[in-house]
Structure 1
């Protein structure tokens, strides 16, 4: 981890189940599957789904099932959750986008569920996931800024899962990448370690002395006014960074105490 220098009416039908198949033999009364012997470059054509589906009052369908995929040399199970989707009345099928796996690219973008006699009987194809080459181009976008947590900030891995690392409040970190997961923006502080953008502020390192023009209020990095003290008029204070807080440019004068630029004069060291 690199720290910045200097700073700290619906009927449900149960689906029959099971494994990927080489070729299904289907009748209206029976469902027979032949198990695939191995998973090679193009192992199977169809597979049987496991799960349930229901029809809505408007004629659309909800599907809650699982499918088999192939990733990193292993067979995996992936969820299929579809809501208010339409069925092709001629083909008795529903087309859907394949599930996404972060950091992997599927070999197809869509698949098709087939229906017969009130049951789901097949899933067209078999999706293989190839790992996207690692490197700075794989996850997120380039960005350059210094980030300071306003709390003891939890970090997350490339998939948005919590890690064991916490960034200390008011420390400073060089950010080189940004990513978004489910509407949440994260900044990268180290390889496979990210912090939520909302857990802190962007700061600009700037060492110097500020002199107050008047008795000046202090604020925290979240913009909350400090009510039990202020800076006396015409006094000098060391500052090491600046930031925009509550729409105002402010200088830091203590661990989590900031003063508005409008109350000061600044001189660089």
Structure 2
């Protein structure tokens, strides 16, 4: 019987504005998701800024806790993990964030970013073994170790830095990777390389990836399935091909309408889309591509 790698059960996250304030913002509302342990996949969580997708990432990484609901990793509530179980969760659930610059300390070389997790999680038996693991991870993301090791962050491009972040995650042999807008701050010419690195991680190492983005163009090329968030609510989900080619919800059609499809006769944003804030609904006439 297939076991669940991750279960998100009716998770809601509410942010309170000050201790004495009655104002509250619901960032994520009754979100549920199940990912199978023996069925690695790439799931896109899509939505604009303020949709709740980064809140979801922070919840999964344990940086914040749910207001209600629970998140189970291999059947255990991540909030209550302690000791070896918590260490294992920290190793098996990794992240690649939006900003490839913020992760690096400018006073340390690339080697430092890679050797710290090796020491922290005791991944190598010797210095030579550690170097081999670093080389293997860098090669897996299309980087030559001799080109990046020993260098400082300012000596590398944004694309190189982001691929090093992917290599760092890969080195820990994760079961789940949270990729939060991993290509949004990288030149368009390098996005394909980073997305290919993620696909290879999934294909060659059986890593399940939650790919968080506002960009349905990259989601379409990298994901197997998609969940669309709008103001904390799930408005549509399913197979990525079906959802993007035939979106059912008006908000999804708005996102799809922003995709630059190779059709010179169709201008971007030419279709009227209006919102009724009181009902939190979109009324759209955008055609599907």
**Alignment TM-score, normalising by the size of structure 2:** 0.19
Relative to its length, the structure with more strand (as a share) is: 1
If asked which structure has higher relative contact order (CA below 8 Å, sep 6+), I would say 2
Q: Max radius of gyration: which structure?
A: 1
Relative to its length, the structure with more helix (as a share) is: 2
